[in-house]
Amino acid sequence: MNRADLEEMQADLALQLKRAERLSAEDLAREIRRIGFWCMRCGDCCRGEENSVVVFPFEIREIVALAGEGWLEVAEPPLEGEWDIGGNFHTLEWRLRKEDRDCRYYSEEGCKIYEARPLLCQTYPFYLEDGRLDWSECRGLGGEIGFEASQKLAELLKRRQIVEIKEAIELVRRYEDFERGDSSPHGKCVVHDSEGEHKIEWSEIPGALGRRLRQSQKW
Ligand code: SF4
């Protein structure tokens, strides 16, 4: 990605941000009431292969503070990425860590980090796609939602959209491109986010991620 591509992305993100700031939470809330939603506490959204929660650095810090855990216990890099000529693996943004197929914070009693759960979890199953309300599969859709709950959800959705765009703007602003190379078990993992580059040794990443990457690269 050259500088001109990055500048074009920044200009596009700036326009998206203006549009997101003009979104009407009242209109969104009305739409949510029309669709209907009531959380059944089934935990389906916290478990299984499909569960993948993007977390931003400020959210990771909130979870670190609440759970009393380290950054790499809370979050892990995604497995999609590219290699540079030095054998380092580059990837974008963080995901909440999982234990096997499920979110590490799921329990039958509910979310163990409820007060600090990411915006994505707070707004599930809804999300905004270019300012348009859309939703993922969920058993609670169609349920009855009150005026206040719909208003709160709409405001959270608007906040999430603004946060996502601002995080992307910062990521693009700090992003340093690199020459592409071949995979290697000897380099580092480089996570690009709104704070710049986080360089991690593979041995620092607990859990199954390092193993999964090795398997995917057939090392
Ligand atoms: S953080 Fe909490 S709400 Fe979000 S996926 Fe994990 S258990 Fe579910």
Query: Do residues 113 and 67 make contact, with C-beta atoms less than 8 angstroms apart?
Result: yes
pLDDT at position 203 is 80
pLDDT at position 213 is 67
| Test site for ligand 1: of 111, 120, 136, 160, most ligand atoms within 8 A of the Cβ | 111
Taking the CA of residue 104 as reference, the ligand 1 atom at the shortest distance is 6
User: Residue 3 pLDDT > 90, yes or no?
Assistant: no
pLDDT at position 43 is 95
pLDDT at position 219 is 62
- Mean of the per-residue pLDDT values of the chain: 93
For residue range 58-98, what is the model confidence (pLDDT) as tens digits? Answer: 999 999 999 999 999 999 998 889 999 999 999 999 999 99
Name, in order, each residue with C-beta under 8 angstroms of 18's C-beta and a sequence gap of 6 or more.
none
Instruction: Give the number of other Cβ atoms within 10 Å of residue 99's Cβ.
Output: 11
pTM as predicted: 0.92
Q: How far apart are CA 167 and CA 163, in angstroms?
A: 6
User: Residue 206 pLDDT > 80, yes or no?
Assistant: no
Kindly state the greatest CA–CA separation across the chain. 55
For residue range 128-147, what is the model confidence (pLDDT) as tens digits? Answer: 998 899 999 999 999 999 99
Cα of 103 from ligand 1 centre, angstroms: 6
pLDDT at position 204 is 83
**Does the beta carbon of 121 lie inside 6 Å of ligand 1?**
yes
Exposure string (b/e) for 158-170, b if CB count within 10 Å is 16 or more? bebbbbbbebbbb
User: Residue 200 pLDDT > 80, yes or no?
Assistant: yes
Residue 27 exposure: Cα atoms within 13 Å on the Cβ side: 8
| Domain spans of the chain, in order of start | 3-76+95-173
Average pLDDT over residues 185-203: 92
Q: How far apart are CA 87 and CA 136, in angstroms?
A: 37
Taking the CA of residue 103 as reference, the ligand 1 atom at the shortest distance is 6
- Tokens 């349920």 belong to residue: 143
User: Residue 121 pLDDT > 80, yes or no?
Assistant: yes
pLDDT at position 77 is 92
Q: How confident is the model at residue 149 (pLDDT cuts 50, 70, 90)?
A: very high
pLDDT at position 146 is 97
pLDDT at position 207 is 62
Q: How far apart are CA 185 and CA 23, in angstroms?
A: 46
Ligand 1 atom 1, closest CA: 117
**Does the beta carbon of 98 lie inside 6 Å of ligand 1?**
no
Ligand 1 atom 5, closest CA: 46
| Helical ranges in the chain per DSSP H | 3-21, 25-35, 57-67, 71-74, 119-123, 147-174, 209-217
Q: How confident is the model at residue 214 (pLDDT cuts 50, 70, 90)?
A: low
